[in-house]
């Protein structure tokens, strides 16, 4: 609040925003943006700040932030890949059915804003006061930034987030380089890759539209000798591969 009430004109407010953004870029590189990324005039930026600064979203329910992001992300940009934020009620239902425990690992290969990971964390903390170990992946850098903002809002250090194509095992070696092999791999002597990742629980509401390349299809038994297959079929196989023996999977797919 105090950052902005002293600046009651456009130019000073915008300068204040730029200084804050520099701090963000330095402290959290994954959130790095510059002024040109906003694609908004100084006058409009000033009006936005004047409308928003009285509100404190840090202490709000995460569903409030979800709703804001759902409204702001245009239908066009989401529907092109079948990407939609999962309603919080659906997430909570899945979490309650799967019943994640504090000593388990949880993975979402198409995490979006990471609702499954956050709700699983809150659920486990409420039961045992200890968060589970969580990993979220998404091909969209925007989704990862959103998830990271949610993580910061609740100070959830148990969640790791990686930008990666979770369907393509050949393109992600560098993405997993900082993961703990003893926690996330089936075989610690092997390099970390999608085929070597494992978790006790997998949640997913994957995107279901878009083109699948032939070289990617060859990585999947369910797409063997086929020229095309729906994206959710590949995600089902990927999620099953990611599970430990006797693991649990909750996945949202088109009917």
Sign of the CA dihedral with 86 first, then 88, 89, and 94 last: positive
- Expressed in angstroms, the distance from the first to the final Cα of the chain is 46
Quick: pLDDT tens for 96-125: 999 999 999 999 999 988 889 999 999 999
Instruction: Identify the three-state secondary structure at position 162.
Output: strand
Distance, in Å, from the CA atom of 182 to the CA atom of 227, rounded to the nearest integer, reads 37
* Tens digit of pLDDT at every position of the chain (255 positions): 566 666 778 888 888 888 888 888 888 887 776 666 667 888 998 888 888 877 777 666 666 776 666 665 544 445 444 455 678 889 999 999 999 999 999 999 999 888 899 999 999 999 988 999 999 999 888 888 888 888 887 788 999 999 988 988 876 767 788 889 999 998 888 888 888 899 999 999 988 766 576 778 888 888 888 887 888 889 999 999 999 999 999 999 877
pLDDT of residue 126: 92
Amino acid 73: pLDDT: 55
Q: What number of residues does the chain have? A: 255
Nearest CA among 105, 172, 91, 101 for reference residue 137 = 172
pLDDT at 75: 47
Element (H, E) at 14: helix 10-27
The sheet carrying 105-108 orders its strands as 159-163, 133-138, 105-108, 199-204, 243-251
Indicate the SS3 state at residue 199.
Answer: strand
| pLDDT at 224 (0 to 100) | 80
User: How far apart (Å, rounded) are the C-alpha atoms in residues 57 and 54?
Assistant: 10
What pLDDT sits at residue 61?
Answer: 65
The two structure tokens encoding residue 99: 């019943």
Question: Which pair of tokens denotes residue 242?
Answer: 């990611």
R_g of the chain computed on alpha carbons: 20
CB 224 within 8 Å of CB 236: no
pLDDT of residue 233: 86
pTM of the model: 0.80
Residue 18: what pLDDT?
A: 85
């Amino acid at each position: 609040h105090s950052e902005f009430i002293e600046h009651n004109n456009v130019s000073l407010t915008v300068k204040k925003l730029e200084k804050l953004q520099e701090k963000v870029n330095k402290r959290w590189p994954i959130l790095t943006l510059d002024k040109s990324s906003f694609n908004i005039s100084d006058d409009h930026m000033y009006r936005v700040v004047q409308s928003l600064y009285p509100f404190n979203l840090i202490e709000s329910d995460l569903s409030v932030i979800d709703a804001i992001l759902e409204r702001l992300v245009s239908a066009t940009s989401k529907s092109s890949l079948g990407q939609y934020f999962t309603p919080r009620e659906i997430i909570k239902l899945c979490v309650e059915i799967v019943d994640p425990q504090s000593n388990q690992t949880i993975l979402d290969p198409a995490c979006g804003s990471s609702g499954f990971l956050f709700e699983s964390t809150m659920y486990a903390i409420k039961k045992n006061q200890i968060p589970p170990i969580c990993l979220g992946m998404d091909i969209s850098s925007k989704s990862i930034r959103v998830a990271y903002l949610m993580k910061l809002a609740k100070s959830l250090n148990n969640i790791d987030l990686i930008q990666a194509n979770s369907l393509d095992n050949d393109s992600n070696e560098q993405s997993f380089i900082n993961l703990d092999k003893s926690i996330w791999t089936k075989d610690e002597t092997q390099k970390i890759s999608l085929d070597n990742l494992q978790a006790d629980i997998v949640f997913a509401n994957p995107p279901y539209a878009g083109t699948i390349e032939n070289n990617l299809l060859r990585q999947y038994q369910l797409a063997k000798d086929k020229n095309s297959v729906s994206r959710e079929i590949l995600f089902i196989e990927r999620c099953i591969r990611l599970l430990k023996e006797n693991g649990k999977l909750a996945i949202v797919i088109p009917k």
